[in-house]
Structure 1
Amino acid sequence: MSILSVVSLTNGGYAESKGKHIKYSKFFNLTTSKLQNDQQIVKMASRNGMFLLYAPAFLVGLVSFVVFYDRDQDLRFLMVISALTIHFLKRVIEVLLVHKYSGYIALEAVIPISLSYAISTATMIYAQYLSQASLEPLIDLKHVGVALFLVGITGNFYHHLILSTLRKNDDKQYKIPKGGLFDLVTCPHYLFEIIGFIGVSCISQTMYSVCFLMGTISYLTGRSFATREWYVSKFGEKFNKDVKALVPYVL
C-alpha cells in the first residue's frame, strides 16, 4: 500500500502537470461546452460531488474510534486518528458552508477520488495500529507534528475563505485571488495542505504516512503548476508572472 500510494499520487501529479486533469473545478469547466453533447459523461452538482469526496474518509475516521475503542491504544495512535478525522471534518464543513460553486463535477472523478481518500485514511490508521507493537522512534516528532498540522489546517482554511469571498451573490466568474499568500503563489491552500500532512506524518512516523506524504506533495505540486498555467492562459497580462505556483519565491 505504501508503494501503491506514492506511485499513484505521483503519477496523478505528473498527469496534472501535463494537462490531463481530473474532471472537477476550473479544469472541468474549461471543457464543459465540449462535453455537453457527450452522453457518457455523468455530471453532478459540484457541492454534492465534493461532499461525496470527503464524507467517506471522515466516516472512516469516526468508525475507527469505535472499532479500536476496546483495544490497547497509545497516544500516537489516537492522535493520528484524531488528526485525520479533523482534517476531513474540516473539508466537509467547507463544502457545506464555505466554498462557492460555479459548475459541475464528473461522477467518474468523484468515485475514484472518494475511494482513494477513504482507503488511504483506513490504511494509515491500520498501519498505525500495527506499529504499536514496534519500538518507539528514536526521535519523537508527534508534538512537532501537532504544531505543523494545526498550522496547515488553519492556513488552508484561511485561504479557502479568501477564495470563497471572490464571488458575490450569483457571480460564477473566476477571478485572480488576492490577499494572504495569493500575492506570492497561486495555490497557498495546497501549500498549507502539504504542511498539514507533514504534520500528520510527523505524528505517525510510519512508512505508509511518509510514502503518502511524498505522493501528496507530488500530486499537489503538479496540480499547482497546472493551476498557474490556467491563470496565465485565462487572464494573460492581468496575471502577475512573478507569482509562483506553490512555494513563495521558489517554486
Structure 2
Amino acid sequence: MASRPVVLKVEPRGKRIANLKSETSIYIQGTGSDLYQRIAAETHLSIHRLRITSKSDGKVLPNEKTFTIQSAGFKDGDTIQVKDLGPQIAWRTVFIIEYLGPMLIHPLFYFLRPYIYSNAPAKASELQTLSCIAVTLHFLKRELETIFVHRFSNATMPAFNIFKNSGHYWALSGFLIAYFTYSPNSPTAGPSNPAITYPALALYVFGELANLNTHLILRGLRSPGGTERGVPRGFGFNWVTCPNYLFEMLAWTGILLINRSWSTLFFIVVAVAQMGVWAKKKESRYRKELGGKYKKKAFGMIPFIW
C-alpha cells in the first residue's frame, strides 16, 4: 500500500499557471507537503503562493507533513485544482512593518511639536510625555514579540494586504492618536491628576505584562516551524478564549485614561471590534481542531460580555 502511486489530474483554479502539468503522480502515503513541493517545483512558484483543493468537494489540501494523500481520500483519476495566490509576504515581516509606524510616529510628533503646532510650548506636558512613552513602549514590545516570541500558523499573506494592515496602525494608532495627543489644545496638555494617572499607569503595566505572558503560553503550544495547536491553559484562559486580546484592551484603556483623547477611544473601539471577531473565529477553530480536549468558552475576549 505504501508504495502504490496515485495519478491525479491537475487543472488551474482561476487564472492560467505556466508550466502546470495536466497530471501528476504521488504515493498514496505521500503527504500534503510532498504534493505542494512537487507542484511548486513544476511551476517554479513558491509553495506559499499555491493552494491545492479537491475539485469534487472544494476542500483545501493542507500543506502539512501529517496529512496524507490517503487520508484526503484521493484515488486514481481524481482531479485537484491549483490556485496561484499571487505574490506573498511573510507574516513576521508584515507585523514588523505594521508596528514600526506608530512606534516612530509618536516620538516624531512629540519632539517636533513646536514645528507642527503653531502655539505649542517648548516643553511637553507630563501627560504628553507619559503618553509618548506608553505608546512607544507598547509597539516596541510588539516588535520584540514578533521577532522573538510569535510562531505563525501561516507563513505568508498576500503582499498587497500589507497596505491595508499597515493603514490601520499607521493611520489610527499612529497619526490620528499622535496628532490629537500632542496638540497644545488636547486634554493631555493640561495638568496631571495623580488619582487618575497612577491607576492608569498600573492598568497599562498590568495589561502589557499579562499580554506578554499570554503570548509566551501560546508560543509553548507550537513547535518551531509547526502548525499544530495545543490546548491553551494558564492565566486568563479560564475566563475567555483570547486573554491576549483582553489584556491588550486593558493596556490601551490605561493609555486612554492618561491622554483622555477621543482619537484613542476611537482606535480602541475599532480594535476591540476586530479582536472580538478574531476571538470568535479562534473559539470555533479550537472546538473543531481540539475536540473534547478543549474546554469550551462562552466568551471570546471580555468575560460575561463578549
TM range (shorter): 0.7 to 0.9
Residues 218 and 137 (structure 1 numbering): CA distance in 2 closer, same or farther, change over 3 Å?
farther
Q: Decide which of 212, 227, 236 is 1:181's aligned counterpart.
A: 236
Structure 1: segments with no counterpart, 5+ residues: 1-28
Greater displacement, 196-205 / 172-181: 172-181
Counterpart CA distance in 2 for 1:81 and 1:170 is 36
Question: 2:89 maps to what in 1?
Answer: 44
Counterpart CA distance in 2 for 1:220 and 1:74 is 32
Counterpart CA distance in 1 for 2:176 and 2:132 is 11
CA contact (8 A) 1:185 1:244 kept: yes
The answer to which structure, 1 or 2, has the higher relative contact order (CA under 8 A, 6+ apart) is 1
Q: Decide which of 171, 175, 198 is 1:122's aligned counterpart.
A: 175
Question: 1:75 maps to what in 2?
Answer: 126
Residues 221 and 170 (structure 1 numbering): CA distance in 2 closer, same or farther, change over 3 Å?
closer
Counterpart CA distance in 1 for 2:186 and 2:247 is 32
Q: Which has the larger radius of gyration?
A: 2
CA contact (8 A) 1:74 1:132 kept: no
Counterpart CA distance in 2 for 1:143 and 1:248 is 25
Root-mean-square deviation (CA), in Å?
2.9
The CA deviation string for residues 74-116 of structure 1, in whole angstroms up to 9 with x for no partner, is 1111111111111110000001111122422232332212122
Identity of aligned residues (%): 23
CA contact (8 A) 2:283 2:300 kept: yes
Q: How does 1:137-148 map to 2 (within 5 A)?
A: 141-148=196-203
Q: How far did residue 131 of structure 1 move? A: 5.0
CA contact (8 A) 1:131 1:206 kept: no
1:164 aligned onto 2:215: no
Q: What secondary structure, in the 3-state scheme, does the structure 2 residue paired with 1:181 have?
A: coil
Counterpart CA distance in 1 for 2:241 and 2:171 is 29
Q: How does 1:1-251 map to 2 (within 5 A)?
A: 33=52, 37-68=82-113, 71-103=122-154, 104-120=156-172, 121-130=174-183, 132=185, 136=190, 141-242=196-297, 244-248=299-303, 251=306
Q: How far did residue 197 of structure 1 move? A: 0.8
Structure 2: segments with no counterpart, 5+ residues: 1-47, 54-59, 61-80, 116-121
Question: 2:73 maps to what in 1?
Answer: none
Counterpart CA distance in 2 for 1:52 and 1:197 is 20
TM-score (norm 2): 0.64
Letter paired with 2:161? A
Residues 249 and 191 (structure 1 numbering): CA distance in 2 closer, same or farther, change over 3 Å?
same
- Answer 1 or 2: which has greater strand percent: 2
Residues 132 and 236 (structure 1 numbering): CA distance in 2 closer, same or farther, change over 3 Å?
same
- Answer 1 or 2: which has greater helix percent: 1
Q: What secondary structure, in the 3-state scheme, does the structure 2 residue paired with 1:41 have?
A: coil
Count residues in correspondence. 222
CA contact (8 A) 2:125 2:191 kept: no
Q: What secondary structure, in the 3-state scheme, does the structure 1 residue paired with 2:150 have?
A: coil
Residues 48 and 37 (structure 1 numbering): CA distance in 2 closer, same or farther, change over 3 Å?
farther
